[in-house]
Amino acid sequence: MKRKINALPLVLFMAAIALSGCKQSNANTIRIGFFPNLTHSQAVYGYADGDFEKVFGEQYRVKWQSFNAGPAEIEAMFAGEVDIGYIGPIPAINGYIKSNGDVKIIAGAALNGAMLVTRKGLIINEVKELAGHTIAVPQFGNTQHLCLLNLLSANGLSTIEKGGNVKVIESSNPDTKTLMDKGDIDAALVPEPWATRLIDEIGVNVLLGSGEVWDAGDYSTAVVVVSAKFYEKNKDLVKKFLQTHIDITEYINEHPEEAMKKINDKIGELTGSKLSENILKNSFSNMIVTFDPNVSSVNKFMTIYQEEGFVKSIPDKNKIYDFEILNELLRDKNLSEISVEP
């Protein structure tokens, strides 16, 4: 007579091995957040070329997390779903405040890359002529919104909420295109490639080019952030990440045409729509791909963010930055270091 075999111990043993493998896999997973757009070019290029996977080695798995808005990426970082991320400076600032310092800016990614445009048929020559008009920004409290508030203030204007006569609305970039084409809004301050798309596709007018929106075009558009918890436990990995980030930045600037094609192909794969060659080229000409976060502009953003009432205070502002590893790598390449003091 055949003896019956109790399979339960074997099942439990195999389950334990599986769980152990999952834990090991999660421990060796590096989660990178980014947007599938041009201002996150290093992330998109690195994703397409496998550069980060190569530098981390076979013992680590890179999990790419794509987002459409900064707040969602910051919430994912809070939840432990993102370790390192490419993001706009304003969501980075907000994340630093809400996490009591757990979100750190460790490098820059892009500068400039936004324009203030007016609808077809509305030709004005100065920002002060926007009085009485409706202007769209991609999101309240984001980089373009703060740029606009700064511009209005500098030209003696203010929003309806502040007792002025400029109406500012929140609108996604695709919706802004529709609203402007229909004449339902008068102007918009939008990032690339949407600024160039609006010019090429619906004939909007440029009121301020990318070099005029803020401090002669010298302002942060995207930065690299890291969870402080991940950073403290994995400085060697952060160093490998930043080394690759610097290398990709230099490659994009030295081989722009080849890099643009690879970035555009990946954007097309991720979003289902590639940019036309003309829009791609013109958009890139309006931004700077860099590892310098432009501390001065981020500090100004923090000041305006507080003055406009988005937060009551920002404690220990300089602690939002940690350039220890970035500067070590820059010294090795005989490049200028980044200072917390602008």
Q: Is residue 230 a contact partner of residue 84, using CB atoms and an 8 Å limit?
A: yes
Work out the pLDDT band at 6, boundaries 50, 70, 90: low
DSSP string, 62-91: EEEEE-SSHHHHHHHHHTTS-SEEEE-HHH
The predicted-structure confidence for 293-307, as pLDDT tens digits, reads as follows: 999 999 999 998 998
CATH class of 24-113+218-332: alpha beta
The overall longest dimension of the chain from CA atoms, in Å, is 97
The predicted-structure confidence for 219-277, as pLDDT tens digits, reads as follows: 999 999 999 999 999 999 999 999 999 999 999 999 999 999 999 999 999 999 899 99
What global pTM score does this model have? 0.86
The predicted-structure confidence for 168-222, as pLDDT tens digits, reads as follows: 999 999 999 999 999 999 999 999 999 999 999 999 999 999 989 987 778 999 9
Q: What is the pLDDT of residue 16?
A: 46
- What count of residues does the chain have? 342
Q: What is the pLDDT of residue 161?
A: 93
Q: Among positive and negative, which fits the CA dihedral 126, 128, 132, 133?
A: positive
How far lies 46's CA from each of 34, 50, 244, 320, in Å? 11, 6, 8, 25
Q: Which fold has domain 114-209?
A: D-Maltodextrin-Binding Protein; domain 2 (3.40.190)
Through-space distance between the first and last CA atoms of the chain, rounded to whole angstroms? 85
Answer yes or no: is pLDDT of 17 > 70. Answer: no
DSSP string, 93-151: HHHHHHTTS-EEEEEEEEEE-EEEEE-TT---SSGGGGTT-EEEESSTTSHHHHHHHHH
CA pair distance 120, 61, nearest whole angstrom: 48
Averaged over 142-170, what is the pLDDT? Answer: 94
Which amino acid is it at 312?
A: K
Burial of 196 from C-beta contacts in 10 A (0-12 / 13-18 / 19+): buried
Q: Do domains 24-113+218-332 and 114-209 have the same CATH topology?
A: yes
- Domain spans, the chain: 24-113+218-332, 114-209
Work out the pLDDT band at 26, boundaries 50, 70, 90: low
Averaged over 328-339, what is the pLDDT? Answer: 95
Pairing of strands 134-137, 167-170: parallel
**Burial call 239-267: b when 16+ CB within 10 Å, e when fewer:** bbbbbbbbbbbebbeeeeeebbebbbebb
Pairing of strands 61-66, 29-34: parallel
Answer yes or no: is pLDDT of 288 > 90. Answer: yes
Radius of gyration of the chain (CA): 23
Which amino acid is it at 86?
A: Y
Work out the pLDDT band at 290, boundaries 50, 70, 90: very high
Work out the pLDDT band at 1, boundaries 50, 70, 90: very low
Q: What is the pLDDT of residue 308?
A: 86
Work out the pLDDT band at 285, boundaries 50, 70, 90: very high
The predicted-structure confidence for 32-76, as pLDDT tens digits, reads as follows: 999 999 999 999 999 999 999 999 999 999 999 998 888 889 999
**pLDDT cut 90: percent of the chain above it:** 79
Q: What is the pLDDT of residue 342?
A: 60
The predicted-structure confidence for 110-139, as pLDDT tens digits, reads as follows: 999 999 999 999 999 999 999 999 999 998
**Three-class SS of residue 294?**
coil
**pLDDT cut 70: percent of the chain above it:** 92
